[in-house]
Amino acid sequence: MSLLSLKIGGKRRLAAGCLVPLGGPLATCGMSRLLGGTLERVCKAVLLLCLLHFLVAVILYFDVYAQHLAFFSRFSTRSPAHALYPAASSSTNCSRPNTTAASSGLPEVPSARPGPTAPVIPPCPDVPPGLVGRVVIEFTSPMPLERVQRENPGVLLGGRYSPPDCTPAQTVAVIIPFRHREHHLRYWLHYLHPMLRRQRLRYGVYVINQHGEETFNRAKLLNVGFLEALKEDATYDCFIFSDVDLVPMDDRNLYRCGDQPRHFAIAMDKFGFRLPYASYFGGVSGLSKAQFLRINGFPNEYWGWGGEDDDIFNRISLTGMKISRPDVRIGRYRMIKHDRDKHNEPNPQRFNKIQNTKMSMKWDGIGSVRYRVLEVSRQPLFTNITVDIGQPMSWLTQG
């Protein structure tokens, strides 16, 4: 009974629990036990492989899920426009040349790149670097306008100019009272345009031409020039009033306006390069727009030669301003010699008028000027404005 414990249905059960047919070999039971153990191990191994596969699948799933979560989180931090148009959110283009990006079906939105900024032009220096100082002036060589135009290619139609390399502090209108002085005007343009350009001025030249042959009225033409220049360019804030026959001999005599009215022509050759008298304000002068309006402009009733510049000096003094002048070595001028113009005879009433400036300046000036513009012609080097300024009353009623 050591090996067999009982008989069951024609079979024997071994002590180890192995069932074998009666009369069968005992080796069959050992083989069965070996196969059973092998199958058990195989099943366990398969189970472990399945478990390992499951764990690997779970890890990969969470890794992919985390990547997708990070990808979408980048879009959630952008603006709505960037979320709709991802291509517009990048400031750099990583695509290769000559390649076309895949279309997303949405309209293209250009990248918000800043355009080119205009260069900043510095202010013009107080002392222009291109000045040459004393200039030789002569009036003997022929001076056709074509030559003057070739010499000044930067001057625009109408006699306008602005320096290309700096921004001037003022905009200057040069006003010239005029009649029958074409020869003088050509010399004036020949010398003054290069000087004004070297002085780095933004300026325009206005020739106010008195129509007809009535008595000449210099001061009234200057009033007309002031108003007409402002009609063309309201930014004019400095006005230079110049006779057409006076040319400066030094470009350091800057045609600018200052805190006080400026008298430029203080040393003319016809006066021996000296100031003829202390209150002289003739020839070439300059006033800012505010200064000009403060004195009510210039008088309109000085018909003929003389007196109006002394009246202007009185207006400046009566309004509490003072005359400023350059150094006598710089304020030198040459005058083109000429005979006195017809219909510009000395006004015999000028001395009486000068004595009444305090009263007359209240009603006679820029606010009372009357005239009619007949023609405005923009020439290559100046703007010509022909006007009808009327005619004087008789000498008896002017006083």
| Residues that are catalytic | 243, 245, 305, 308-309, 335, 338, 340
Is residue 338 within 8 A of residue 185, CB to CB? The reply is no
Tokens of 153: 């290619």
User: Crossing angle for the helix pair 218-232 and 308-318, nearest 10 degrees?
Assistant: 60
Report d(CA 359, CA 308) in Å as an integer. Answer: 15
Q: How far apart are CA 99 and CA 93, in angstroms?
A: 11
Q: What angle do CA 295, 266, 230 make, to 5 degrees?
A: 40
Query: Which position has the token pair 């005599």?
Result: 253
How far CA 146 is from CA of 143, 186, 198, 236, in Å, comes to 8, 10, 21, 28
Return the sign of the alpha-carbon dihedral for residues 50, 56, 60, 61. positive
CA distance 237 to 251: 21
Cα angle value 204/205/206 (rounded, 5°) = 120
Locate 243 and state its tokens.
């006779």
Judge contact between 137 and 249, C-beta under 8 A.
yes
Distance between CA 396 and CA 392 in Å, rounded? 11
Q: Report the candidate in 202, 219, 114, 216 with the shortest Cα–Cα distance to residue 161.
A: 202
- The helix (run of H) or strand (run of E) holding residue 49 is helix 27-76
202: which residues sit within 8 A by CB, 6+ positions away? 161, 162, 163, 168, 170, 171, 172
Residue matched to tokens 């960037």: 82
**DSSP string spanning 373-397?**
EEEEEE-SS-EEEEEE---PPPHHH
Residue 88 · residue 109 · CB < 8 Å:
yes
